[in-house]
Structure 1
Amino acid sequence: MRRFFLVGGALAVIGLGAFIAAGGSAPLAHHLSHGAAAQTVAPAPITEEVPQSRAQISLSYAPVVRQAAPAVASIYARRIVESRPNPFFDDPLFGQLFGDRGRAAPRVQNALGSAVIVSADGIVVSNYHVVGGADDIRVVLGDRREFAADVILADRESDLAVLQLRGAANLPVIDLADSDNIEVGDLVLAIGNPFGVGQTVSSGIVSALARSGLAMGSGRGYFIQTDAAINPGNSGGALVDMQGRLVGINTAILTRSGGSNGIGFAIPANLVEQVVAQAREGRSQFMRPWIGITGQAVDAALAEGFGLSLPQGVVIAQMHPRSPLGAAGLRVGDVVLAVDGEAVNSPQEMMFRLSAQGIGGEVELSYLRGQTHSSTDLILTAPPESPARNRVTITDLALRGLVAETINPAVIAEYNLHPEANGVVVVEARDLAARAGLMAGDVLLSVNRQPVMSSRDLERLLRDPSRYWEIEILREGQRSLLRFRL
C-alpha cells in the first residue's frame, strides 16, 4: 500500500523512497535489458512514516509571499484637473453680471494603485493609468515607509510607468522571470492593494496566454490572463510565480459589477524588463523598434487563400518604402509566422515580441511566401528622423494656433499614422485652427487645392491673402474637406 502526502507543493511517494518535485521524475522501478526479457525488481518493503512537521502535511504559499510581498508597494497619486470654463463668463456683459460666482474651481482627482520595486535604489514599476499626469505621487512600502516619487518614463500604449523614489536605498527587490516560460495552468499569486484595504494576496492559475487586441487600462497590447482575484487598486501590482519571481504587472479586469470575475490581465515581465532598461538609459518615452508595416491576423478565410492548414501568422498588408522588413527581403502579402521561434498570431503579439527584444536587438523572422517557408534575420532599429520634422507654430496666419510637423518615420510611429503617410501632421490645434475643425493627429494633404509636402510648404501656403479656405485632411483613414471663411 502506498501513501501520498502533499509536501510544500510537491508529491511525496512514501514507500518507494522517491520524491517527485514539480518538473522532476521518480526513479524507475524496473529496468529492461538489451535483447533480453524484462526482469522485475522486487518491490521495496512498505514502510509508514509519521509527518515530522506542519510543512509535510499542509500546502502553503507563505514562503512565496514572504519572498515577493516586501517588494510590492501601494501608490497614492493626486492630479489637479482644470474644469472647463463656461463661455458666458468671458462675455463682457455676462462676466460683469455674474463676476466670479459660479466659476468652476479646479478639481482634485485621487488614484489608488500598486507598484513593484525592481531596483534597490528605488526604481518601481506601475501602470500608466494609475500615475499618468499625476501632480503628486506617494509610494508606501509594506513596512510603512513612505517616499515621494517621480515618473521617469511613461508609456500609454503598454500602460506602463517607471518611477524613481526620492531618497530610497537598500530596498527589497523582486526578481523578474522569463514570461515566455510560463504555461497555461501554472500557479500564480496576485499581490497588491485592492480597494485601499492594505496589501492583499490572491491565488489562481495562468488562464490564457497571448491575449491581444484588447483595450486594457490605458493600453492595447499583449497580456497574460489569470483567474487570481484582481480588483480596483491591484493595478500596477505583481503577478508572481511559485518561485516568487515577477511574471507580470497586473493591469485590468473584465467585469460588469466592478469586482473580480476571475478574468484579470497582466503585462508580461519581458516587456517590463525592456521598459525599465530604457528608463535607466534616460529615456522618458518607451521607444519601440520600427518595422514600418501594417499587418492583419490570418483568419480562416485568409488561411484557405494562403493554403494554410490552420489560421496562423500575420499577413503584411502595407509597407513603408523604408521599412527594415523590406530591406530584409519581405514584401506585402508575406505571412510572418514566428519571431525567434515564438509563434505570432496578431499584430499586437508580433509587436510585443519585437519590443521585448528592444532597439539594437536581432531576431529571426519566419515567414511564408506562397508555399515557401523562409526565414531572415532582422536588426531592430529606431524609426529614422529624416526628413527633419521642422515643427512650425502658426501665430499670425489663417490657421492661427496650429502646431504642425513634417511627417517622417519617427512621426508615423509617434502618432500611430498610416505607414505610407506623408505631408504634415497636426500636433496641436487651438484658436482659429480649432474653430476651423482641425484636431491633433490630422494629416494635412492640401491647402486651397495646393499639395502640402512639408511644414515649410504649409507656412508658405497660409500666407495667401485669400478669405476663403479649403483644407483637405486625412483623419482615421478618411479624407475630409474643411471649408471656412475668415
Structure 2
Amino acid sequence: MLMSAVPATAETRVPESQSEISLGFAPVVKQASPAVVNIYAKIVRQGRSNPLFADPFFRDFFGNGFGNARPRVQNSLGSGVILSDDGYVVSNYHVVGAATEIRVVTTDRREFSATVILGDKESDIAILRLDEAEDLPFLKLRDSDHVEVGELALAIGNPFGVGQTVSSGIISGLARTGTATGNARGYFIQTDAPINPGNSGGALIDVNGDLIGINTSILTRSGGSNGIGFAIPANLVAEYLHQARAGNERFISPWAGMAGQHMSVDIAESLGMTLPQGVVISDLHPLSPLGEAGLQVGDVVTHVDGKEVNSPAEMKFRMSIAGVGGTSALTRLRGSDKDEVNVALIQAPQIPAAEETKLDDQTVLPGMVVARVNPDMITRLGLGLSQTGVVVVDPGPFGARAGLRLGDVVNAINGATIQRPADVAEALTDPARRVQIDLQRGGRAVSLRFRL
C-alpha cells in the first residue's frame, strides 16, 4: 500500500529556544515542498456549431464547412504531489482528467510530460506517471485515520498561478461528506488553511512533513478562500496508488450493492435507539454481498472495521480503503441485538453479461453503444439498484444529436420492447421514416421522436 503510518502516540514537543520558535515551519516546508509540483494541462473542447447548420438547406447554401465551430483550447492550472521516486504523482481529476497534454514542473524547474494512468471523476482523484523520471523527492503517506481535529496543517500548492505557496491552519473537521464543491463526492478532511484556485491537487501536510490529504475544493461564495477547504484523505490516495501500480485502468471499489440513508433523530426513535448513529439499509440488490452475509433492509450499520460510520459516503470510504479481495467486519444493529458480520469485499459482478454492442453503419444511429444493465453497469453509470434492461453506454455523435444521453435506459423503439442490446440494433436497422425511442432517464419517462 506504500503508506507510512505516523504513530497515534507521537510526542508533541514545545520549542525550547528562541531560535526554534523563529524557524516556524521553515524546516518542514523545506523538506516537503520539493515533492509538490505545478501542473499545466491542455484541454481541447469542441466548440458548439450554430444550430441553423443542422438544416440541410443552410449547409447546401453556405457549404458544409461554414458554421462549424472550431475546437477551443483551454489551459488548466493545478498542483500535484509526488508519491514515489520513480514518478507517480497524484492530483485532482478535474485538473487533468480531460487533458490532451500534461506538463509537470518541479520546484527545481525540471519539466516532465505526464500521462493519467488511473482517474476517477466521482472521487476527483487522478494518478499520473511522469515520463523518464527517477530519484525524485516524494512525500510519505500518513495514516489519515490518526489525524485529529486541532492538529496543525500546511497547504502547499500553486494558487492563482503565482508560484508555489504555503499556507497554515489546523484540521477543522473530519468525516465531512456531501459538502465539497466541484466534482468530488465523498469523504473529506476539512481545514482552515487557505486554499484557492490552483491549489487543487496540492498537499495538505502535518508538522512532520507527511501527507495528510490532497486539497480538492473550497466552500465559497466569492471564489476565494473563506477558511473552509476540503482534502481527500491520504488513506484513499494510498489505495489509488496501489491500484495504479497494479495496472488497473479504472479504480475498483468494493461493491456493497446497497442503498442507505443517514440516521435521523426520528428514524432513531422509531427503531428504539437512544442516539442517532449509523447508516440505515434502505435497499439491497439481490446479489449484494451484504445480503449474502445476512444483512437485511432496516438493519443499521454503525461501524466498518471498527471505525464509526454515519453516512453512506463514509461507509463507502471505509470499504474502499480496505480494497477488493478481503473482508470487512460490519457492526450491525437489528432491534436490540448488536453483532458483527463479516462481509466479502467483491467487485461489482457482471451478471448478467453486459453484451456491450456498438451500432454499425447499417443502423440510423451508428456509433451508439448499448449494454445490458448489471451491477457493474449500475456502479459505473450511477443507476438505481433495481434497474434492469438496456442502457446507453455511449450515445455516439448521431445518438447525441437525437437527444440520447449516457445512462438512458431504453424501454422501447417504435413500440417494440427492448430486452437486450441486439434488440436495439434490430429496431434501428431500416426503421420507419419516424423513430420514437421510449426511455427512462433519472427515474422519469422520456420519449424522443425524430424523422429520418
TM-score (norm 2): 0.91
Find the counterpart in structure 2 of residue 30 from structure 1.
Answer: none
Matched, 1:354 2:305: no
Distance in 2 (CA, whole Å) between partners of 1:91 and 1:450 is 29
State the Cα deviation string for residues 254-301 of structure 1 (Å, max 9, x = none). 112221110100000000000011011111211111111111111111
1:358 and 1:398, CA in 2 relative to 1: closer, same or farther beyond 3 A? same
Distance in 2 (CA, whole Å) between partners of 1:190 and 1:236 is 10
Matched, 1:366 2:305: no
Find the counterpart in structure 2 of residue 420 from structure 1.
Answer: 386
Find the counterpart in structure 2 of residue 472 from structure 1.
Answer: 438
Give 1:383 deviation, angstroms. Answer: 1.0
- Which runs of no fewer than 5 residues in structure 2 stay unpaired? 1-9
Paired residue for 2:140, among 175, 185, 205? Answer: 175
Aligned residue-pair number: 440
Paired residue for 1:67, among 14, 28, 31? Answer: 31
State the Cα deviation string for residues 383-442 of structure 1 (Å, max 9, x = none). 112322111223434655532001111111111111121111011224664455432101
Give 1:472 deviation, angstroms. Answer: 3.4
Paired residue for 2:45, among 71, 81, 102? Answer: 81
Paired residue for 2:199, among 214, 223, 234? Answer: 234
Give 1:360 deviation, angstroms. Answer: 1.3
Give 1:337 deviation, angstroms. Answer: 0.8
1:239 and 1:83, CA in 2 relative to 1: closer, same or farther beyond 3 A? same
Q: Secondary structure at the match of 1:134?
A: coil
Distance in 2 (CA, whole Å) between partners of 1:257 and 1:61 is 29
Distance in 1 (CA, whole Å) between partners of 2:17 and 2:363 is 86
Q: Secondary structure at the match of 2:315?
A: helix
Distance in 2 (CA, whole Å) between partners of 1:333 and 1:472 is 34
* Structure 1 runs of 4+ with >6 Å offset: none
Paired residue for 2:341, among 355, 358, 376? Answer: 376
Find the counterpart in structure 1 of residue 174 from structure 2.
Answer: 209
Q: Secondary structure at the match of 2:236?
A: helix
What is the 5 A alignment of 1:13-412?
A: 22-23=11-12, 54-55=19-20, 57-58=21-22, 60-89=24-53, 94-95=58-59, 98=62, 103-395=68-360, 396-397=362-363, 401-412=367-378
- Which has more radius of gyration? 1
What residue identity is the alignment partner of 1:143? D
- Which runs of no fewer than 5 residues in structure 1 stay unpaired? 1-20, 26-50
Give 1:60 deviation, angstroms. Answer: 1.1
Which has the higher relative contact order, 1 or 2, with Cα contacts under 8 A spaced 6 or more apart? 2
1:96 and 1:224, CA in 2 relative to 1: closer, same or farther beyond 3 A? same
State the Cα deviation string for residues 89-128 of structure 1 (Å, max 9, x = none). 5656545665666653222101111100001000000000
Q: Secondary structure at the match of 1:220?
A: coil
Q: Secondary structure at the match of 2:250?
A: coil
Distance in 1 (CA, whole Å) between partners of 2:449 and 2:168 is 59
Give 1:168 deviation, angstroms. Answer: 0.6
Q: Is the 8 A contact 1:175 1:245 kept in 2?
A: yes
Distance in 2 (CA, whole Å) between partners of 1:482 and 1:382 is 35
Distance in 2 (CA, whole Å) between partners of 1:300 and 1:376 is 25
1:305 and 1:433, CA in 2 relative to 1: closer, same or farther beyond 3 A? same
Q: Is the 8 A contact 1:73 1:142 kept in 2?
A: yes
Find the counterpart in structure 2 of residue 13 from structure 1.
Answer: none
Distance in 2 (CA, whole Å) between partners of 1:485 and 1:139 is 49
Give 1:23 deviation, angstroms. Answer: 4.8
RMSD, aligned α-carbons? 2.4
Distance in 1 (CA, whole Å) between partners of 2:430 and 2:286 is 33
Q: Is the 8 A contact 1:238 1:246 kept in 2?
A: yes
1:125 and 1:409, CA in 2 relative to 1: closer, same or farther beyond 3 A? same
1:230 and 1:311, CA in 2 relative to 1: closer, same or farther beyond 3 A? same
Give 1:223 deviation, angstroms. Answer: 0.7
TM-score (norm 1): 0.85
Q: Is the 8 A contact 1:130 1:235 kept in 2?
A: yes
Distance in 2 (CA, whole Å) between partners of 1:431 and 1:370 is 53
Find the counterpart in structure 1 of residue 404 from structure 2.
Answer: 438
What residue identity is the alignment partner of 2:409? V
Q: Secondary structure at the match of 2:186?
A: strand
1:106 and 1:466, CA in 2 relative to 1: closer, same or farther beyond 3 A? closer
1:463 and 1:131, CA in 2 relative to 1: closer, same or farther beyond 3 A? closer
Q: Secondary structure at the match of 2:343?
A: strand
Give 1:484 deviation, angstroms. Answer: 5.6
Identity of aligned residues (%): 55
Distance in 2 (CA, whole Å) between partners of 1:215 and 1:305 is 31
Q: Secondary structure at the match of 1:219?
A: coil
State the Cα deviation string for residues 63-101 of structure 1 (Å, max 9, x = none). 211221111111111112221222445656545665666
Select between 254-263 and 453-462 the one with higher mean Cα deviation.
Answer: 453-462
What residue identity is the alignment partner of 1:66? K
State the Cα deviation string for residues 200-254 of structure 1 (Å, max 9, x = none). 1110000011110234332211111100011111100000011110010001111
What residue identity is the alignment partner of 1:67? Q
